[in-house]
Structure 1
Amino acid sequence: MNTIESFKAHIDKGNTFKGESLILGTAMLEGKPVQSTHVKVPLKTLNRHGLISGATGTGKTKSLQVLAEQMSLHGIPTLLMDMKGDLSGMAAEGSNNKHIEWRHGEIGIPYQPERLPVELFTLTDHKGVRLRSTITEFGPTLLSKILGLNATQQGIVAVVFKYCDDQKLPLIDLNDLKKVLSFMIEEGKKEIKAEYGSISKASVSTILRKVIELEQQKADVFFGERSFDPQDLLTTTYDGKGTVSIIRLADIQDKPKLFSTFMLSLLAEVYETFPEEGDLDKPKLAIFIDEAHLVFKNASKELQEQIESIIKLIRSKGVGIFFCTQNPTDIPDAVLSQLGLKIQHALRAFTAKDRENIRKVAKNYPITEYYDIEDVLTSLGIGEAFVTALNEKGIPTPLVATLMRAPVTRMDILTEKEVNDVVKQSRLVDKYAENINRESAEELLMKKIAKAEEQAVTKENKKVSRSRTKKEESFFETMSKNTMVRQLGRTLTREITRGLLGVLGVK
């Protein structure tokens, strides 16, 4: 058996699955496509998460697009976090050209342009479905991790939530949170101390500063109502295509805290609300996080631990998470070890540090007799990548240099008119466009403070009134006494005068 035949047998053996699978491309050997050797990923293991990585311009975002497209065509709803704005094109058909014809000819799959069912989402005021969450839904633990609080400060945040629960004060937005924190060290200091113990004013001030920092990254537009229901992501069309939900994040690239806040809250909400599913034939939802280094770069140790926990546990809910970033080293080892599918595009070795990184990356992949992994990593062309997945038994499939298929949807952004058309056809825009501003902690506390002040004024007025009455009574008593004295004096004087006159008259 020659090298090509043994290579084909090796790939076919590793890519034979009992259940449904999707095709990513065709295998390559010595830089050339090997026809009729499809590189497949079983749908059953897509809830074991994945990684798409590679240097800028190597095609990793297009691989993300291909993977999400194929999931949608197999009836799997997806959620894409679009940091650069170029994934919205999935709502429009792709266009053919000679290069795509050649590529698909080598793969052995006809190229059929399609448009997919797309919902556009936004965290800001851009066009699309508004995404919001309340402070209460976020919870004290997650909020503390996002703010990077120490143990003492976390305890104070826990007291905030407990006090609001006890007093039935809804924590909806950041204004509510700031008002409760201020109340704890000012008007409500005695009440809080009596019920929950002393609260450090310095610690509360630190928390307030961190809340304001989060607010300055426009997180105030994220916290509010109506809060988003993750169940609205689990939709398919009448012809069985999974809805592609795209969150447009191009306007918050410079706000990593807002991005990581939203991403983590969404994962936590999905984990909390989705039921346990066990092993499904295919995931019920796949979430793609582009520019994933933004999630981990500025994350505290506690926040990273929270992400790691969710990644480990969320697959049992039938959800797969896929990170897209430049280098696998952008992802913490504890998370990286949980990722079953790996699509590795080319890496560039311009410095000694780059070469060291490539050696580290090469160690993450299964050993193969057909490739010098370090060498191939630097020589892969655009739209070519190393691929390894998990088979249905959870064993890594052979590492294969792959000529990736082209996206069937547009590889570019939508025009403004096309965005308007997608938004008009949305079934969710009207539902989440309403900005509910119900009475919450801020307003209720202001009423409570006003009532307390009114009661204090009334009490003081009564006290002053009683004091005045007492003084008046004292005054009148004194005056009465003085009058009696004066009257007695006048009577005595008259009697004496009369006596004297009477004596004088007798004489």
Structure 2
Amino acid sequence: MSFIEAPTTFYMGRRYDPDTQRLTQDVVYYDSRDLVTHAVVVGMTGSGKTGLCINLLEEAILDNIPAIVIDPKGDITNLLLNFPDLRPEDFQPWVNVDDARRAGMEIPQYAADVAHRWREGLASWGIVPDRMHWLKLSANFSIYTPGSDAGLPVSILASLQAPREGWDANEEAHREKINAIVTALLALVGRNAQPVVDKEHVLVSNIFEYAWRRGMNLTLEDIILMTQKPPFAKLGVFPIDEYISEKNRLKLAMDLNSIVAAPSFQSWINGDPMDIQHLFYLPDGRPRVSIFYIAHLNEQERQFMTTLLLENLLGWMRMQSGTTSLRALLYIDEMFGYFPPYPANPPTKEPILRLLKQARAFGLGLILATQNPGDLDYKGLSNAGTWFIGRLQSDQDRERVMAGLEALASVNTEMSIGEVRKLISQIPPRVFLMHNVHDRSGPVMVHTRWAMSYLRGPLTRAQVSTLMAPQKQQLFARMNASVGVASSYGGTGGTGYPPPAPTAMPSSGGGFAAQVAYYSQQPAATPTAPQFAPPPPGLPEMPPGFPEIPELPTQAAPTQGFVPGATPPPLPPLGNTQPISNSQRLQNTLRSSSNAPEGYSANPPPLSASVPQYFLPNDLTSDQAVRQWEQRTGFAVQGLGSSMLAYKPVLIAQATVRYSDRKTQVFTAREYAFRVPNVERAGIVHWEEHRAEPVDPRRLSGEPFSAAYFGDLSAGLTDKARLAQLKAEIIDVLYTTARLNVPYNPTLNVYGNPDREYSEFRAQIQQLAREKRDAEVDATTRKYDAMIKDLQLKAEKKIQQLGSEKRELANTKREELFTTGEAILGLLQGRTSFTLSRMSRASVYKQRSKGQVQTYELEIDQIQEEIEAKAQEFQDMLRQINEKWAKVATQVEDYMISPFKKDIVLDIYGIGWIPFWYVDINGQVVLLPATGQPQPQQPTQQFYNPPPTY
């Protein structure tokens, strides 16, 4: 059977006739914009509920709608089992062994049978392999397994961070989020605490508010320590010790500490951040389907994780612009325990209720499914505009569902409770009563189409691990690549031209291997990615869009300042892998200058008081520096000699550049830093080679932090005239090169925000393009609606002229014409159903007697041809509209903002002293950085940062 592909239109299946208990040829569609008022799916086990919901998700994905899925059982992971070629070997690794045994078949034979059934089933519903290919390429599919390393790990730490928009932007919403998070957190340790009522809840809530008001991000460790020793003296009017005793606070802190102390805790804090923008979109703006597989979690852990996810979703939602088009989906596959009726009040209930009430204004649609009708708060679900009711197990379940639908009757006066009660009394599998408040034609029985995904049942964690192996490899590579390469002067290495990447942008650079090679003067080796077992045959290919694993750059050893006198021989093989415990400390009294390494002295060089000096703090002790060296190299220290602090002199410059552009409404600032060694009295300074990470001026000192050796100053650093010249030069360099690139869509006239993620800009223009597309589709609908109605009216007049002697023939013609017209109008209005197959009946009456009505028949045939031509023309118009706005959504150009010279402020300029530890390791002298080096961390936010233009 055929169906029409159209924007915003979901292909659901065919109409089911409850009187004849047979399928009709009427295609059932669903307007995606109706999902902004949410949908509820109810059906017992075996009703086809999972197939219906996967169909909804497939149609949304084809329309480039991102989705977050909460999957308590593992059924929705089947979305990743999409095999467009429909080969038996594609299905074989994923077929259920028990199903094959029950069928009396070997695995290969059963896989061939499944492939045949899927091929036949899809064909019977008019679904071609190209549609499956398009589904596979339309989004990136990921499975997250919180608290487990089976799928992609996810970190909960982002949920504890202070609001990005600040506390004052929406105090009420932030307090609602705090209440939900604290309720879930305390439930995780077995405390059923409620806001306002329980002292423990009040205490922890105040800790969150205290930190978030000050823009402080929290960790669980912070919360535990602050619980024991709160950062405030009072709660309300009572001193803290009177409100809740120190003994009770300690007990609460110990309970919370049990979370951190658990061996499995690391799997909750390492991985992708629980950042909604990241879960909805790739950095390039392509939509994602992020499935949270939580079958392995206990009830308290499920509540905790789901509450954090829902609250983050609410925070993301409030930062979006309003829209009438569907922007994104949240799908919860089983609502049991999340939204129970009064008086039960789990931590998930309040955020779900807020989403049901508020999300429609922002284009966020909810699909809530359950097989337990008695576990839903139907009063809260009265906000849902669409109900899909499948086969129910008992009369009691049907009565509960009817109670929920009765709440909608007061809103939709056209809804007949008696008719609905009759329709749901006997529903076969894969058939659902679809009640949509936006559809004036009333409820309809729909038989769901064949799913494009292979519905094999819940996946095991081992199968999830196999599916996600390529993406985990990419994730770990991104996490390792986030470690920058530190230069010997405290900045980041690299080449290019100024300005350096602004501090809000992620910096590129190598990881541990490149750092070790740099400091030990060994060439950096290209890292080898973690090896995973190859996926089984037929595994869907890795969706495009993930960044390639970066190659760590090699970097030449520094030639200036203090370096070891000779390249050390190869380090000894691995011995004791335990970190060393060095008891030696730097002596307080410096050795004489005769013992200083070459190029260094025990006393700081004399400098004019007019030349500022900046000493960077040594964040690492010598023990810590050596331990980091062990971690980076993989070698154990078997012999450790003395250690000394040594400062290297550089020319340090750090400026703040303000950008102000009314056209783009960009008002922001960036910091640029340079550290130049070996400054000569004359010559060109290649500033682009001396970029560095900006440093907080409050961490700098005008005096050494401890006793140390001091490197000799180069000639230019002692020349006041030279320093004055370079000071003016750096301002000129920034004025001509520190341009801020902003992404721009010329058709939509939309500029990106350089302080926000690039994926947000791409999502913004995609949403605007979708809104423009929907508006043009609606205008085209009205145009063809009028034309087809005119043709129908014209045909009606001709049919009436056939006369009573040809009434039977006339009735046949009327049915054919109006079926065709209604088919087009049904699609135009984006509502339930229409029939295309009846168009073929034209041949029936064309073969009948021409006789006296030959003239009329000829005219009616011509009108019929006009209607069919308009139908084809309408489909072509829909395709052109969709293609046009899809291209618009991908248009991105660079808009460049240059600063005014008055907006360049030099914050730091003078002699900078970079601390290093001069250490004897295994008989070889090694120079180790004394400043803290970045450790492997969560992937940084991806911002738009194209190469600078000069």
Q: Do both share a fold (TM > 0.5)? A: yes
Q: Partners of 1:427 and 1:317 in 2: how far apart?
A: 35
Aligned position for 1:454:
none
Task: Give, in angstroms, the shift of residue 34 of structure 1.
Answer: 4.6
How far does the alpha carbon of each residue in 1:419-464 deviate from its partner, in whole angstroms, 9 at most, with x for none?
5354314696337867x9xxxxxxxxxxxxxxxxxxxxxxxxxxxx
What SS is found at the alignment partner of 2:229? helix
Match of 2:273 among 222, 227, 249: 227
Q: Partners of 2:293 and 2:51 in 1: how far apart?
A: 17
Aligned position for 2:329:
286
How far does the alpha carbon of each residue in 1:325-382 deviate from its partner, in whole angstroms, 9 at most, with x for none?
1144432234311212221111012xx6446435435636766679843344242222
Aligned position for 1:373:
420
Verify the 8 A CA contact 1:74 1:242 in the aligned structure 2: no
Q: Partners of 2:440 and 2:282 in 1: how far apart?
A: 30
Q: Partners of 1:209 and 1:300 in 2: how far apart?
A: 26
Aligned position for 2:288:
243
Q: Partners of 1:154 and 1:289 in 2: how far apart?
A: 27
Alignment CA distance shift 1:119-1:354 (3 Å): closer
Task: Give, in angstroms, the shift of residue 167 of structure 1.
Answer: 8.9
Task: Give, in angstroms, the shift of residue 296 of structure 1.
Answer: 2.6
**1:57-456 paired onto structure 2 within 5 Å:** 57-93=46-82, 97-98=116-117, 101=120, 105=124, 113-114=132-133, 116=136, 117-134=140-157, 136-137=160-161, 140-146=178-184, 147=186, 148-151=193-196, 152-164=199-211, 170-173=217-220, 175-184=221-230, 197-199=239-241, 200-201=244-245, 204=249, 207-208=252-253, 211=256, 221-222=267-268, 227-235=273-281, 242-252=287-297, 255-274=298-317, 275-281=319-325, 283-297=326-340, 300=345, 304-349=349-394, 353-354=396-397, 356-357=399-400, 359-360=402-403, 363=406, 372-391=419-438, 398-412=442-456, 416=462, 419-425=465-471, 429-430=475-476
Verify the 8 A CA contact 2:36 2:365 in the aligned structure 1: yes
Task: Give, in angstroms, the shift of residue 41 of structure 1.
Answer: 1.4
Which residue identity lines up with residue 354 of structure 2 in the other structure?
Answer: S
Aligned position for 1:39:
28
Alignment CA distance shift 1:261-1:27 (3 Å): same
How far does the alpha carbon of each residue in 1:460-503 deviate from its partner, in whole angstroms, 9 at most, with x for none?
xxxxxxxxxxxxxxxxxxxxxxxxxxxxxxxxxxxxxxxxxxxx
Task: Give, in angstroms, the shift of residue 161 of structure 1.
Answer: 2.8
Q: Partners of 2:299 and 2:424 in 1: how far apart?
A: 30
- Total equivalences in the alignment: 406
Gaps of 5+ in 2: 87-114, 163-176, 187-192, 483-950
Alignment CA distance shift 1:235-1:206 (3 Å): same
What SS is found at the alignment partner of 1:337? helix
Task: Give, in angstroms, the shift of residue 126 of structure 1.
Answer: 2.4
Verify the 8 A CA contact 2:51 2:451 in the aligned structure 1: yes
Alignment CA distance shift 1:302-1:21 (3 Å): same
Structure with the larger RCO, 1 or 2 (CA within 8 Å, 6+ apart): 1
Task: Give, in angstroms, the shift of residue 411 of structure 1.
Answer: 0.7
Alignment CA distance shift 1:89-1:101 (3 Å): same
Aligned position for 2:654:
none
Task: Give, in angstroms, the shift of residue 26 of structure 1.
Answer: 1.0
Task: Give, in angstroms, the shift of residue 297 of structure 1.
Answer: 4.5
Alignment CA distance shift 1:344-1:217 (3 Å): farther
Alignment CA distance shift 1:23-1:388 (3 Å): farther
Which residue identity lines up with residue 136 of structure 1 in the other structure?
Answer: L
> TM-score if structure 1 supplies the norm length?
0.67
More helix by share: 1
Verify the 8 A CA contact 1:124 1:221 in the aligned structure 2: yes
Task: Give, in angstroms, the shift of residue 403 of structure 1.
Answer: 0.6
Task: Give, in angstroms, the shift of residue 182 of structure 1.
Answer: 1.9
How far does the alpha carbon of each residue in 1:53-99 deviate from its partner, in whole angstroms, 9 at most, with x for none?
11112111111111111111111112222222232222222555558
Task: Give, in angstroms, the shift of residue 214 of structure 1.
Answer: 7.2
What SS is found at the alignment partner of 1:247? strand
Alignment CA distance shift 1:204-1:118 (3 Å): same
Is the deviation greater in 416-425 or in 121-130? 416-425
Match of 1:51 among 24, 30, 40: 40
What SS is found at the alignment partner of 1:296? coil
Q: Partners of 2:263 and 2:427 in 1: how far apart?
A: 38
Please say if 1:24 is aligned against 2:70. no
Q: Partners of 1:424 and 1:285 in 2: how far apart?
A: 26
Q: Partners of 2:54 and 2:68 in 1: how far apart?
A: 11
Q: Partners of 2:408 and 2:236 in 1: how far apart?
A: 59
Verify the 8 A CA contact 2:281 2:287 in the aligned structure 1: yes
Which residue identity lines up with residue 385 of structure 1 in the other structure?
Answer: F
Task: Give, in angstroms, the shift of residue 224 of structure 1.
Answer: 6.7
Task: Give, in angstroms, the shift of residue 24 of structure 1.
Answer: 0.7
Is the deviation greater in 76-85 or in 114-123? 114-123
Verify the 8 A CA contact 1:77 1:284 in the aligned structure 2: yes
Q: Partners of 1:276 and 1:168 in 2: how far apart?
A: 21
Task: Give, in angstroms, the shift of residue 197 of structure 1.
Answer: 2.8
How far does the alpha carbon of each residue in 1:137-195 deviate from its partner, in whole angstroms, 9 at most, with x for none?
3863222332333414333123323554689875212x3322221234xxx89x66899
Alignment CA distance shift 1:249-1:290 (3 Å): same
What SS is found at the alignment partner of 1:291? coil
What SS is found at the alignment partner of 1:347? coil
> TM-score if structure 2 supplies the norm length?
0.38
Alignment CA distance shift 1:426-1:46 (3 Å): farther
Q: Partners of 2:295 and 2:397 in 1: how far apart?
A: 28
